[in-house]
A and B are shown apart, each in its own frame.
Chain A
Amino acid sequence: MYTFSNKLKTFSIILMVLGAVGVGISFMTSHKSFEEVEHILAEEAHHGGGHGAEASHDEASHGAHAAVESHGEAHGDSAHAEVDEHTKHIEHVQHQIANRPWSALYVAAFFFMMIALGVLAFYAIQIASQAGWSPVLFRVMEGITAYLLPGALIVLAIAVASGTIGHYNLFVWMDPDVVAHDKLIQGKSGWLNLTGFTIRGLIFIAGWVLYRHFSRKFSIAQDTAEDKSNFKKSFRISAAFLVFFIYTESMMSWDWIMSVDPHWFSTLFGWYVFASMFVSGITVIALITLYLKSKGQLEFVNENHLHDVAKFMFAFSIFWTYLWFSQFMLIWYSNIPEEVTYFVTRFQDYKLPFLGMVVMNFVFPILMLMNADYKRIPWFVVMAGLVILFGHYIDIFNMIMPATVGDRWFIGIPEISSVLLFAGLFIFVVFTALTKAPLLVKGYPFRKESEDFHY
């Protein structure tokens, strides 16, 4: 049995407290009055503002802008046009500043939730494919997926709260005022409405968590069972879950991520989000395995297992890049105005994170993890893993932020403290779950093969 070391527990609590304080501060400082924003903008303009804020705002196509635009139409009166323009601009920036802590919190919450979900999918695949190498890692995976229930509920709660207690800080389609003036969103309101969003979200979470609950139950029951009935049951539900998962994951990505840009859509978006969550999940499996092994808890895990996990990290980093590039290149090539705005805003305002994540998620892992010998060296895998994880945080950042805060982004207190908050919670939940069961599956039919696994 593993015991959650006091040091790590204190560490996770410190992370949570620090994060919570930072998140609190960023929420308190994000409410700027009209005059304050006016002052900030005047100052930026005075300094020759590196932003070129005004110009890019006019081009930005995110939802908040659409809202402002439609307000303008409603006013109509050309006599007030210039004053309106100024007021609209200030209100727009004011909204973006208010959005920032919400978005930072949402990105971090989603990032850690997706790790748990990615690991759950990986776990189901290992069982359904009857993999012979991975059973020694099952308990680590089960520990990580324990975060799924709280994590997914938090994501959904933040999303719903932003549209109820907040001022539509994440999803503009939740704002009835915007919808009233936006024909495109009106056309999609059959799908994009708060009731449907909440119900769908709850169904997704219920399905995932039920699978996680029963597969964990069967896994522990198999430890003491005389026969293989629990294994067979978990095999069957894993196959069923994978079918459910691939539908719900795709819909979840439309709901929870793609709908921040309700005017834009992409068909391979679900796969793209999946690739991101899968590779982050596998990376976290590697990191936690290495941590536990360094504490002497997993003596049955050897470098051959590490080699296999690192191969998955390598291959799915490339898979992610393939999907990222396919989505980007198809839109860039045809350059249809209604869909290319998505990448135009990212290229104009997010050049460093947008291109930086390709380096972190592709160039770095492909060079680091190509050599078979390097995949067996723990510190090498840890280093590559940390870069991959950071790269995929930036990936989610790039999906959400341009739609909510536009060019007012920065990685500062709101972003960092949100990550700390959820990192602390993640560590706390995962390592608490790891203490609940022995770290080696006992009666699993492929256990012996996995222990003797040799590559």
Chain B
Amino acid sequence: MEASKVIHAIYTDDDILMSAVKKVKAEKHHIEEIYTPFPVHGLDKAMGLEPTRIAITAFLYGLVGLTVAILMMNFIMIEDWPQNIGGKPSFSYLENMPAFVPIMFELTVFFAAHLMVITFYLRSRMWPFKKGENPDLRTTDDHFLMEIAVHGNENELESLLKETGAVEVNLVDKAH
């Protein structure tokens, strides 16, 4: 595979970064990635990223958890061995339902929360011993880095980025 070239523009202020993003987008350049030390409000909108769908997955996982809780307790408490425990009506699920609600609630939350977190890890490719992808260590501290793919337009891009207030503009070979 050929090694493609990217430009790394480094900023030191999130407001300057935001206006730079808007300018670069206006010039119709594709921003590959932006590395920031903290969440910058509105950056996703400025970059034109699609909204996350993780809340929808959480809702569905919650429904799974609720179903698991109901099926589990219906089987254990009503179908498999309907004992009389302290006079609780174990004739049908509905009759004894108030006693099951705390578990139904907790399992709904448990499934929604944990499966959503795992989904997040999978989608953002995070796991222990994963090699860091950070192109510049300073971006975890106080610098912001914008990565733009180059298609033979280095000079034009470089001057544009300098104009937007970048403190450093580096042309980098990116091995795939």
Contact = CB atoms under 8 A, between A and B. Distances in A.
A370 B59 contact: yes
B87 A335 contact: yes
Contacts of B87: 335
B116 to A, nearest CB: 14
A332 interface: yes
B59 A329 contact: no
A325 interface: yes
A408 B87 CA distance: 32
Interface size class of chain B, counting residues whose CB lies under 8 Å from the partner chain: under 10
Interface in A325-355: 325, 328-329, 332-333, 335
B98 A328 contact: yes
Interface string A362-381: 00000000101000000000
Nearest to A372: B55
Interface string B96-109: 00110100000000
A333 B101 CA distance: 12
Determine the interface band of chain A, counting residues with CB < 8 A from chain B. under 10
A370 B56 CA distance: 10
Contacts of A329: 98-99, 101
Contacts of A325: 98, 101
Nearest to B41: A454
**Residue among B59, B87, B98, B99 with max Cβ neighbours from chain A (10 Å):** B98
B59 A332 contact: no
B62 to A, nearest CB: 10
Contacts of A372: 55
Contacts of A370: 59
A333 B99 contact: yes
Nearest to A335: B87
B73 to A, nearest CB: 15
B110 to A, nearest CB: 18
Interface string B43-57: 000000000000100
A371 to B, nearest CB: 9
A372 B87 CA distance: 44
A335 B101 CA distance: 17
Nearest to A373: B51
Contacts of B98: 325, 328-329, 332-333
A377 B123 CA distance: 31
Interface in B53-97: 55, 59, 87
A429 B95 CA distance: 46
Nearest to B98: A329
Contacts of B99: 329, 333
A332 B97 CA distance: 11
Nearest to A334: B86
A328 B98 CA distance: 9
A257 to B, nearest CB: 23
B50 to A, nearest CB: 14
Nearest to B42: A454
A286 to B, nearest CB: 22
Contacts of A328: 98
A333 B59 CA distance: 30
A329 B99 CA distance: 7
A265 B2 CA distance: 79
B134 to A, nearest CB: 31
B9 to A, nearest CB: 28
A165 to B, nearest CB: 42
Interface in B8-66: 55, 59
Interface string A300-335: 000000000000000000000000010011001101
Interface in A167-221: none
Given A329-B99, A332-B98, A335-B87, 9 more contacts: A325-B98, A325-B101, A328-B98, A329-B98, A329-B101, A333-B98, A333-B99, A370-B59, A372-B55
Q: Which 5 A-B pairs have the closest CB atoms?
A: A329-B98, A332-B98, A333-B99, A325-B101, A329-B101
Interface of A: 325, 328-329, 332-333, 335, 370, 372
12 contacts: A325-B98, A325-B101, A328-B98, A329-B98, A329-B99, A329-B101, A332-B98, A333-B98, A333-B99, A335-B87, A370-B59, A372-B55
